[in-house]
């Protein structure tokens, strides 16, 4: 950016947080998303001001098409398409807040965001787990007769049976679980949305076994356990979930995988079973069905069979 352009993007005086578009946007996010998007917006501000601004001192209302186009091009050079797309989404959201706050005209907003979407055509990372691998994981948890074994079996049952993100799993509370229907209320998930999902009966029993030990005291479903076996009535961290999965995978002799691979397996298995993509999308909490479609591993054979149904 040239120096004249940079100067026009620096706020002459700080805006109150109540009408600051970036601050208003960040307040709308869940606690888990806020740090990531704060870092992203600071990176955009630094890029547009040659390091002279952060997200609070940049004048977002002065953004023009040339700025958004430059940011998009720079992000595509530095990041994977999926990451660049997320950052651009945050950028658009901040500009939309500037419009709604009356700091930017509707015409200026429309011109600034008139950019092609960033599409990620790469295959999804990670892998789907086989039935034998899931069986092996559950077996090592069941054979561990301590409280840790019962809790870890419940954790894997939730990740595999409901296809939750690990950040969603650790936020579950006892009040979110309905033992009669197997329902789990997912509150303020990715994008600030909530949804209701269901556990299959086989997974339901593992969660009930854990709650019988944990007790019905209010608070987190999945809790840390001290070395002496005492349960701490607070939420597990996302990092703890990763360590638990890695530990059980090693014990079970299962090739390394991530907690998110349970989610991939969940979506893939439902699509393999013939569940329609809209239902899978709702269960997974995907905003866009094209995201869900990436988990469809049925390949060319399903397309070949589909056209055989056409009548002449």
| Domain presence at residue 253 | yes
And the tokens for 214? 């944990």
pLDDT(294) > 60: yes
Terminal alpha carbon distance of the chain: 62
pLDDT(29) > 60: yes
Binned at pLDDT 50, 70 and 90, residue 83 comes out as confident
pLDDT in tens, 162-181: 999 999 999 999 999 999 99
| Domain presence at residue 122 | no
pLDDT(86) > 90: no
Mean of the per-residue pLDDT values of the chain:
88
| Domain presence at residue 303 | no
pLDDT(230) > 90: yes
Binned at pLDDT 50, 70 and 90, residue 95 comes out as very high
The domain in which residue 213 lies consists of 131-298
195-216 burial, b for 16+ CB within 10 Å, e for fewer?
Answer: eebebeeebbebbebbbeebee
Sole residue written with tokens 């209010």: 218
User: Is residue 90 domain-shared with residue 178, that is, in the same domain?
Assistant: no
User: Is residue 72 domain-shared with residue 161, that is, in the same domain?
Assistant: no
So what's the pLDDT on residue 23?
93
Which domain CATH number covers 270?
1.10.443.10
pLDDT in tens, 31-46: 778 888 999 999 999 8
User: Is residue 152 domain-shared with residue 256, that is, in the same domain?
Assistant: yes
Crossing angle of helices 277-284 and 260-272, in 10° steps, is 160
Most trustworthy range by pLDDT among 132-136, 192-196, 303-307: 132-136
| Domain presence at residue 121 | no
| Sign of the C-alpha dihedral computed for residues 287, 126, 121 and 74 taken in this order | positive
User: Is residue 158 domain-shared with residue 287, that is, in the same domain?
Assistant: yes
Q: Which of 56, 82, 112 is the last residue of a domain?
A: 112
Contact criterion met (CB below 8 Å) for 156 and 248 = yes
User: Is residue 64 domain-shared with residue 136, that is, in the same domain?
Assistant: no
Contact criterion met (CB below 8 Å) for 157 and 142 = no
Give, in order, the Cα–Cα distances in Å from 250 to each of 102, 151, 243. Answer: 56, 17, 11
User: Is residue 149 domain-shared with residue 254, that is, in the same domain?
Assistant: yes
DSSP per-residue codes, 263-274: HHHHHHHHHHTT
pLDDT(125) > 90: no
Nearest to 267 by CA among 197, 208, 180: 197
User: Is residue 285 domain-shared with residue 193, that is, in the same domain?
Assistant: yes
User: Is residue 145 domain-shared with residue 284, that is, in the same domain?
Assistant: yes
Contact criterion met (CB below 8 Å) for 196 and 185 = yes
Contact criterion met (CB below 8 Å) for 208 and 151 = no
CA distance 71 to 114: 13
| Domain presence at residue 309 | no
Residues in the chain: 312
Give, in order, the Cα–Cα distances in Å from 93 to each of 24, 41, 164, 214, 245. Answer: 10, 11, 26, 41, 35
User: Is residue 40 domain-shared with residue 187, that is, in the same domain?
Assistant: no
Binned at pLDDT 50, 70 and 90, residue 222 comes out as very high
Contact criterion met (CB below 8 Å) for 254 and 136 = yes
Nearest to 219 by CA among 177, 276, 162: 177
User: Is residue 96 domain-shared with residue 173, that is, in the same domain?
Assistant: no
Q: Which of 62, 84, 112 is the last residue of a domain?
A: 112
| Domain presence at residue 69 | yes
Binned at pLDDT 50, 70 and 90, residue 67 comes out as very high
What is the separation of C-alpha 191 from the centre of its chain, rounded to a whole number of angstroms? 8
User: Is residue 107 domain-shared with residue 135, that is, in the same domain?
Assistant: no
> Which has the higher per-residue pLDDT, 5 or 69?
69
Contact criterion met (CB below 8 Å) for 211 and 219 = no
pLDDT > 70 in the chain, percent: 92
């Amino acid at each position: 950016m040239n120096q004249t352009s940079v100067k026009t993007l620096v706020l002459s005086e700080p805006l109150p947080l109540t009408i600051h578009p970036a601050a208003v946007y960040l307040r709308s996010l869940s606690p888990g998303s806020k740090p990531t998007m704060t870092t992203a917006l600071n990176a955009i501000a630094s890029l547009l001001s040659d390091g002279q601004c952060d997200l609070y001192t940049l004048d977002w209302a002065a953004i023009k098409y040339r700025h958004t186009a430059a940011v998009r091009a720079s992000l595509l050079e530095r990041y994977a398409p999926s990451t660049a797309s997320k950052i651009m989404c945050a950028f658009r959201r901040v500009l939309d807040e500037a419009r709604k706050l009356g700091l930017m005209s509707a015409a200026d907003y429309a011109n600034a965001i008139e950019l092609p979407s960033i599409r990620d055509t790469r295959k999804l990372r990670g892998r789907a787990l086989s039935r034998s691998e899931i069986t092996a994981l559950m077996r090592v948890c069941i054979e561990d007769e301590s409280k840790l074994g019962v809790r870890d079996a419940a954790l894997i049952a939730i990740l595999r049976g409901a296809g939750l993100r690990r950040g969603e799993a650790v936020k579950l509370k006892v009040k979110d679980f309905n033992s009669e229907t197997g329902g789990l209320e997912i509150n303020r998930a990715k994008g600030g949305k909530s949804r209701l999902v269901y556990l299959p009966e086989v997974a339901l029993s593992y969660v009930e076994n854990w709650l019988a030990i944990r007790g019905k005291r209010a608070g987190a479903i999945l809790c840390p356990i001290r070395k002496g076996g005492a349960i701490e009535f607070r939420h597990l961290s996302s990092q703890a979930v990763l360590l638990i999965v890695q530990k059980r995978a090693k014990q079970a002799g299962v090739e390394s995988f991530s907690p998110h691979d349970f989610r991939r397996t969940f979506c893939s298995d439902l699509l393999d079973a013939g569940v329609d993509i809209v239902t899978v999308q709702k269960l997974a909490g995907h905003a866009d069905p094209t995201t869900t479609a990436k988990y469809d591993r049925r390949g060319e054979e399903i397309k070949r069979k589909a056209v055989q149904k056409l009548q002449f």
